[in-house]
Amino acid sequence: MTALPKASELERMARDAVTRCGVNLDGPTLDRTVTSPINGLPIGSFATNNDVDEAVARAREAFATWRVVPAPIRGALVRRLGALLSEHKEDIATLISLEAGKITSEALGEVQEMIDICDFASGLSRQLYGRTMGSERPGHRLMETWHPLGVVGVITSFNFPAAVWSWNTAIALVCGDPVIWKPSEFAPLTARACAALLDRAIDELSAPRGLSQVVLGGADVGEALVDHPDVALLSATGSTRMGRLVGPRVAARFGRSLLELGGNNASIVTPSADLELAIRGIVFGAVGTAGQRCTTLRRVIAHEDIVDALVERLAATYAKLPIGNPLEPGNLVGPLIHGGAFATMGNAIGAATAQGGALVVGGERRLADEAPDAYYVSPAIVRMPAQTDIVRQETFAPLLYVLTYRDFDEAIQLQNGVPQGLSSSVFTRDQEESERFMSADGSDCGIVNVNIGTSGAEIGGAFGGEKDTGGGRESGSDAWRSYMRRATNTVNFSGELPLAQGVEFSV
């Protein structure tokens, strides 16, 4: 393995990438530094901008114009954003790697997800369908029309610092809504680069500038968006703890919220499973993005007949995982976001062993001599005798618990026996098991997969989960409905005035 890059090299890469995307670095006073998890050292600085009132005022102004622009024309703006993202795919991916620590292939995948949602949204701009229903009254038409909703606030997390913004923004823009983005404090450069590309598209198409704004800062900035009466929809991705604060506050002002919160995703491995395939799915799910996806695989629920063989093979694969600089081709596991994440993982392993678990592999800090401020870790597997308290919590790190089951009902009970409900999967060749898993009394998650892992969803489906995951749905399918308001129209062309439900009211 080659040495980690020097701080100056990462700094230069960051500066070059943001500049190529059109960010003007000579902006206002830069009052905060950005640190790369690759070496734990500063790679740039940014200016906090916490004037949410001002941003909302500009967004409202943009909304007044944008909501009456025909949706297919709004789609052209998103199509152009997609083209600019394709052109700058490597720049944005570099920034994602620098700020979130993602390996290059996954960072490029994140940008691909952005390009894909732009494609989806531009097609959607001609498909914002309402329904017509048969009216019970003669000479009447009953129908639904969808209209732009208003200002959308988007709060994103460090682990998908660009894609989650694009899921919201591409859909919001074709739906006629302006977006105010509060990105993660860990990824302001990625945010500025993405926003600069959208600004360029906005200028080229003479759309209003207030359609896209970024507010940078800490929790106070997010809270100002949460509480602002003119933010019609607040879409927030983060921990369940954050969602518990955000959801009720938005609801108290009768705003809408779309919450994507914690997951505690499981894969069931049955005796008929193709073990080779299951292992590949499990490893990508558990150690991809260094275990820091909301869809990361956190629990394997394996049948007692195959659990030993499975754990043995997983442990052998884990022992060979290339861990290190995410920018270096070949490495599969990059750094954790910060020391706090490493401490949380260590504490969870400690709690798991205290609760009867046996550490099979992993948990050691890596590359600490070379980069004392960066936190690389060997992904860990812990075998658990039962689904104890610690297993029921989401630990945002590459820590995989293995549980054992005897019959399939028990496996489903274990899968559902956690507070969170984002993603789940079953590895089986038994059709009854796979159908049962996807049925009404099967997995209770928003994402239910067969013979693939829990992470890496495509943008075409609705993305989100139940229970402590918050219930929101973003991205494809009909998730666009959250970004619009519905009007029910009754049109009378009969020349009479019959009342519904047969009511007589002659004056």
443 binds ligand UN1 (CB under 6 A): no
CB of 431 to ligand UN1, least distance (A): 25
Q: Name the token pair of 138.
A: 């003669």
Angle at 20 between CA 56 and CA 30, to 5 degrees: 55
User: Stretches 49-57, 217-225, 291-299, 375-383: which one binds ligand UN1 (CB under 6 A)?
Assistant: 291-299
473 binds ligand UN1 (CB under 6 A): no
Task: Give me the residue label for tokens 């009854």.
Answer: 432
Whether 52 contacts 221, CB under 8 Å: yes
Distance CA 270, CA 263 (A): 22
How many distinct helices (H) and strands (E) make up the chain?
A: 14, 23
> Does 458 qualify as catalytic in the annotation?
no
Binding mask 121-160 for ligand UN1 (x = CB under 6 A): --------------------------------------xx
Q: Please count the residues of this chain forming the interface with ligand UN1, following the rule CB under 6 A.
A: 11
Please list the helix, strand and coil fractions of the chain in percent, rounded to the nearest 5, in that order. Answer: 40, 20, 40
Specify which residues 401 forms β-bridges with.
Answer: 299, 382
Q: Which is nearer to ligand UN1, 39 or 265 (CB)?
A: 265
CB of 252 to ligand UN1, least distance (A): 26
Out of 260, 394, 433, 474, the active site residue is: 260
* First-to-last C-alpha distance (Å) of the chain: 89
Distance CA 93, CA 86 (A): 11
CB of 277 to ligand UN1, least distance (A): 18
CB of 295 to ligand UN1, least distance (A): 4
Cα–Cα distances (Å) from 250 to 85, 231, 236, in that order, read 32, 9, 11
455 binds ligand UN1 (CB under 6 A): yes
Distance CA 49, CA 192 (A): 12
Q: Which is nearer to ligand UN1, 41 or 341 (CB)?
A: 341
Q: Which is nearer to ligand UN1, 330 or 460 (CB)?
A: 460
Q: Which is nearer to ligand UN1, 331 or 425 (CB)?
A: 425
76 binds ligand UN1 (CB under 6 A): no
User: Stretches 193-201, 270-278, 290-298, 407-415: which one binds ligand UN1 (CB under 6 A)?
Assistant: 290-298
Distance CA 170, CA 119 (A): 9
Q: Which is nearer to ligand UN1, 295 or 434 (CB)?
A: 295
Cα–Cα distances (Å) from 397 to 155, 286, 312, 376, 453, in that order, read 21, 9, 21, 11, 17
Q: Which is nearer to ligand UN1, 150 or 161 (CB)?
A: 161
295 binds ligand UN1 (CB under 6 A): yes
331 binds ligand UN1 (CB under 6 A): no
457 binds ligand UN1 (CB under 6 A): yes
Distance CA 262, CA 361 (A): 25
297 binds ligand UN1 (CB under 6 A): no
Give the residue closest to ligand UN1 by C-beta: 457
Whether 434 contacts 428, CB under 8 Å: yes
240 binds ligand UN1 (CB under 6 A): no
Whether 42 contacts 35, CB under 8 Å: yes
> Does 445 qualify as catalytic in the annotation?
no
456 binds ligand UN1 (CB under 6 A): yes
**Over the range 82-112, which residues count as b (16 or more CB within 10 Å of their CB) and which as e?**
bebbeebbebbbbbbbbbbbbbbebbbbbbb
Out of 118, 175, 194, 294, the active site residue is: 294
Among 79, 137, 228, 293, interactor with ligand UN1 by CB under 6 A? 293
Comparing CA positions, the residue from 437, 423, 425 lying closest to residue 465 is 423
Count CB atoms within 10 A of the CB of residue 114: 26
Distance CA 186, CA 507 (A): 67
449 binds ligand UN1 (CB under 6 A): no
User: Stretches 195-203, 244-252, 293-301, 373-381: which one binds ligand UN1 (CB under 6 A)?
Assistant: 293-301
Chain residues in the site for ligand UN1 (CB under 6 A): 113, 159-160, 164, 237, 293-295, 455-457
**Catalytic residue ranges:** 260, 294
